[in-house]
Chain A
Amino acid sequence: MAPADRPTTVGPAAAAARVPVKGRGYWAETWLRFRRRRLPMAALCFVALLGLIALLSPCLAGTKPIVCRYKGELYFPALGYFNPRWENPVFMKDRFYKIYPKNLKKKDPESWAIWPVFYADPYRRVRDGEWEDRKGHQIYADPNWNNWFGTNQAGVDVLAQMIHGTRIALLVGFVSTSVAAVIGILLGAVAGYFGGLADMLVSRVVELVMCVPAIILILTLLAILDKPTIWHMMAMLGLTGWTGIARLTRGEFLKLRQAEFVTAARALGVGWLRIILRHILPNAMAPVLVPISFGIASAILTEAGLSLLGFGAPPPNPSWGTLLNSGKQNLQMWWLIVFPGVAIFLTVLSYNLIGEGLQESTDPRLREAGK
């Protein structure tokens, strides 16, 4: 990525002499325009908040202590929510069976622990008396003081699932769109820069992928795998979602390869890979961010839709779409539809707003008008 202060166009020498101050770079300019828009900025803040929730999810809801002192050692069992292997094996050996509060006190009276805000697990039902003398979670519970967002058919707390589902939603958005962006930018750049045969081949492939509806293609691809995981789905979403990015990158490269600074670079003997990566790409990136932002929104939507059909991550995984799936099977339980539905809506809306804001702040016609 280019440093923000790099001047992106080389004007005539005379003009440069008259204006000795270095102009703002393309990125700084774009950011300045973006920052002026209220709704996209609010959306960006919301996405940042979601990122925070995703990072802190084990501290917000869980049944494992964030930090605990057990038999003279410090442990962080809550990390197990990120990766089961990170849960310290000592608790497995001491037969905790994932029930921490009682066992900690019983097996080491000296121990202490810092607990998550909500004592609720996204994977299992909390039983009676697990936490001091509090009652366990009921199945099919309405939203109440114990379970703010209710519980599902297995008695698993919906709020805990929503908090941990944030991680999956954001991951799906970022990972799948990164895959799509890498493929799309690479193919689009090659097609736009070289033109001719490369362009024709890439355009054909784009046409091929676009001819089949994405959801149909993903269903077909997922069915090939024996046990699809959430990572497989992200890969599939990426493999089917790159066409828009490729087309836009191609267009930008077609335009920029004629630019004077590219001719200058070529005259200096810079290799094509370096021209593509260092000279053109930084200048083409801002408009390409627009389909990327919309792509994240549609990836989150598609993941939720597939999970709703039951094609998503295997059941214990707390994805928002999986919650909708149990809502579809239990239509009378509105809290299984409303809460994840609103979460998906707000996230998709945010990414769409960000995309819209980017579009407006990178649109050359609006740029010239000084808007």
Chain B
Amino acid sequence: MLNYIIRRLAIGSVTLLMITFVVYGLIRNMPGTPLTVDLAESSPDKQISAEELKRRAEIYGLDKPWYVAYWKWAGNVLQGNLGRSIQEKQPVMRVIMPRIGPTLLLSVTSLALSYLLAVPLGLYGSARSGRLDERTTSVFMFMLYSFPSFVAALLLLNLFYVKLDGTLFHLKPGMVSDNYPQLTMGGKVLDVFKHSILPVFCYTYGSLAYYSRFVKANMEEVIRQDYMRTARAKGLSPLTVLVKHGFRNTMIPFVTMLGLTLPGLLSGSVILEEIFSWPGMGRLFFSAITTRDYEVIMTEILIYTLMTLAGQLVADILYAFVDPRVTYS
């Protein structure tokens, strides 16, 4: 097992190195640098001289070709220095940290909700397979799965933000109201809760539909097995058969799925966060791309890649736990 983990870690670090190298090359080749994009936006009387520009480029390491600058960046990262955001004029860590909370708030809530609801839904589907009520739910779930979340987001905003303005159900985009600092503790929680209803809904329904179909598809294989018939024949209750004998045997694909969702927890959704003006990681990435904030882009890519690799590794290790037949020695 230890050998396996070490080998996986070695492969993973090579992957990490390659991805960051390629992405670094890509973003350094975007037209414009953070300095010039910044300049283009400020008024002409604030123009700085060529020498000043050169001096700043030197500070940020923009004077060197990207394949040289990459190694400097990688070295800094290894020493725990993620660099500075040129836009925010702050260390990248300080720019990213406040964004993690809001993104996690959405992704963890939605993940928990969709798993909690998907398992019973999937089991219900496999128990009533082929009946009218199951067919109806299943078609509905398939449609839900195909419904684009950004369209749902816009429709919900049109309804709750515009049409229901002035009523009790009025919901606004953003994470907090303007008067947030003046609210009491309970008021603050309520405020964030109210703002997160719509985004959490849009985050959840698609994956809920997907997971419940996933659970059902896996159950369908298990349900045909002989041991299921045996369990029923010896008089176990249908629920016990379904959960203890059926569902527990579908844990492997389920665990893989959990591993694959890990990176999504932190990456956030660029589109949904943009629509809801949610101050999370996805929105930060979007603005970093438009302002060419290299170090911020790199840090986010680094985080996604690390999470993806970690997710795959965790899933593979968990296999051995949920299925004693799987060993890595």
Could you tell me which A residues sit within 8 Å of B by CB distance?
Answer: 39, 204, 207-208, 210-213, 215-216, 219-221, 223-224, 226, 297, 301, 304-305, 308-309, 324, 327-328, 331-332, 334, 337-338, 340-341, 344-345, 348-349, 352-353, 356
Within 8 A of A (CB), among B138-155: 139, 142-143, 145-148, 150-151, 154-155
Q: How far is the CA of A321 from the CA of B127 in the complex (A)?
A: 40
Q: List 9 additional A-B contacts (Cβ < 8 Å) besides A220-B30, A297-B146, A337-B154.
A: A208-B18, A212-B301, A213-B304, A223-B30, A223-B290, A224-B29, A331-B158, A337-B155, A341-B154
Partner of A220, one of B158, B275, B297: B297
Partner of B148, one of A213, A216, A305: A305
Q: Is A211 a contact partner of B151 (Cβ separation < 8 A)?
A: no
Q: How far is the CA of A224 from the CA of B30 in the complex (A)?
A: 4
Q: Is B158 a contact partner of A211 (Cβ separation < 8 A)?
A: no
Most buried by B among A215, A216, A327, A348: A216
With contacts A331-B158, A341-B151, A345-B151 known, is A213 near B267, CB below 8 A? yes
Partner of A334, one of B15, B146, B158, B300: B158
With contacts A207-B15, A224-B30 known, is A213 near B142, CB below 8 A? no
* CB nearest to B305 among chain A residues: A211
Q: Is A352 a contact partner of B26 (Cβ separation < 8 A)?
A: no
Minimum CB–CB distance for A291 against chain B, Å: 16
- How many residues belonging to B are interface residues under a CB distance threshold of 8 Å? 44
* CB nearest to B275 among chain A residues: A328
Q: Is A344 a contact partner of B151 (Cβ separation < 8 A)?
A: yes
Q: Is A213 a contact partner of B18 (Cβ separation < 8 A)?
A: no
Q: Is B26 a contact partner of A221 (Cβ separation < 8 A)?
A: yes
B157 within 8 A of A: yes
B267 contact set on A, CB distance < 8 A? 213, 216
Q: How far is the CA of A332 from the CA of B155 in the complex (A)?
A: 10
Q: Is B146 a contact partner of A309 (Cβ separation < 8 A)?
A: no
Q: Is A331 a contact partner of B22 (Cβ separation < 8 A)?
A: no
Q: Is B270 a contact partner of A208 (Cβ separation < 8 A)?
A: no
Q: How far is the CA of A331 from the CA of B172 in the complex (A)?
A: 12
Q: How far is the CA of A203 from the CA of B146 in the complex (A)?
A: 29
Minimum CB–CB distance for B58 against chain A, Å: 24
What are 24 pairs between A and B in contact, CB < 8 Å? A39-B139, A204-B15, A208-B15, A208-B19, A208-B22, A210-B308, A211-B304, A220-B26, A220-B289, A223-B292, A224-B26, A224-B29, A224-B31, A297-B146, A304-B148, A305-B148, A308-B271, A309-B274, A324-B151, A327-B154, A327-B158, A331-B161, A345-B148, A352-B146
By secondary structure, the A interface counts as helix
B313 within 8 A of A: no
Q: Which 4 interchain pairs have the tightest Cβ spacing?
A: A341-B151, A349-B146, A337-B154, A211-B308
B148 contact set on A, CB distance < 8 A? 301, 304-305, 341, 344-345, 348
Q: How far is the CA of A308 from the CA of B264 in the complex (A)?
A: 21
B285 within 8 A of A: yes
Q: Is A337 a contact partner of B142 (Cβ separation < 8 A)?
A: no
Q: Is B270 a contact partner of A211 (Cβ separation < 8 A)?
A: no
B30 contact set on A, CB distance < 8 A? 220, 223-224
A337 contact set on B, CB distance < 8 A? 151, 154-155, 158
Per-residue CB contact flags for chain B residues 112-145 toward chain A (1 = under 8 Å, else 0) read 0000000000000000000000000001001101
Q: How far is the CA of A349 from the CA of B26 in the complex (A)?
A: 34
Q: How far is the CA of A216 from the CA of B154 in the complex (A)?
A: 21
By secondary structure, the B interface counts as helix
Could you tell me which B residues sit within 8 Å of A by CB distance?
Answer: 15, 18-19, 22-23, 26-27, 29-31, 139, 142-143, 145-148, 150-151, 154-155, 157-158, 161-162, 263-264, 267, 270-271, 274-275, 285-286, 289-290, 292, 297, 300-301, 304-305, 308-309
Q: How far is the CA of A210 from the CA of B309 in the complex (A)?
A: 10
A224 contact set on B, CB distance < 8 A? 26, 29-31
Q: How far is the CA of A331 from the CA of B150 in the complex (A)?
A: 13
Q: Is A212 a contact partner of B275 (Cβ separation < 8 A)?
A: no
Q: Is A223 a contact partner of B275 (Cβ separation < 8 A)?
A: no
Q: Is B146 a contact partner of A219 (Cβ separation < 8 A)?
A: no
* CB nearest to A340 among chain B residues: B151
Q: How far is the CA of A220 from the CA of B300 in the complex (A)?
A: 12
Q: Is B145 a contact partner of A219 (Cβ separation < 8 A)?
A: no
Q: Is A213 a contact partner of B263 (Cβ separation < 8 A)?
A: yes
Partner of A211, one of B15, B155, B297: B15
Q: How far is the CA of A216 from the CA of B281 in the complex (A)?
A: 11
Q: How far is the CA of A348 from the CA of B147 in the complex (A)?
A: 8
Q: Is B145 a contact partner of A331 (Cβ separation < 8 A)?
A: no
B301 contact set on A, CB distance < 8 A? 212, 216
* CB nearest to B154 among chain A residues: A337
A344 contact set on B, CB distance < 8 A? 148, 151
* CB nearest to A327 among chain B residues: B154
Q: How far is the CA of A297 from the CA of B151 in the complex (A)?
A: 15
Q: How far is the CA of A334 from the CA of B156 in the complex (A)?
A: 10
A353 contact set on B, CB distance < 8 A? 142
Q: How far is the CA of A305 from the CA of B147 in the complex (A)?
A: 13
Minimum CB–CB distance for B285 against chain A, Å: 6
A301 contact set on B, CB distance < 8 A? 148
Minimum CB–CB distance for A175 against chain B, Å: 20
Partner of A215, one of B31, B271, B290: B271
Minimum CB–CB distance for B44 against chain A, Å: 23
A338 contact set on B, CB distance < 8 A? 155
Minimum CB–CB distance for A296 against chain B, Å: 12
A226 contact set on B, CB distance < 8 A? 31
Q: Is B26 a contact partner of A331 (Cβ separation < 8 A)?
A: no
Q: Is A212 a contact partner of B23 (Cβ separation < 8 A)?
A: yes
Q: How far is the CA of A43 from the CA of B305 in the complex (A)?
A: 37
Q: How far is the CA of A39 from the CA of B140 in the complex (A)?
A: 13
B151 contact set on A, CB distance < 8 A? 324, 337, 340-341, 344-345
A327 contact set on B, CB distance < 8 A? 154, 158
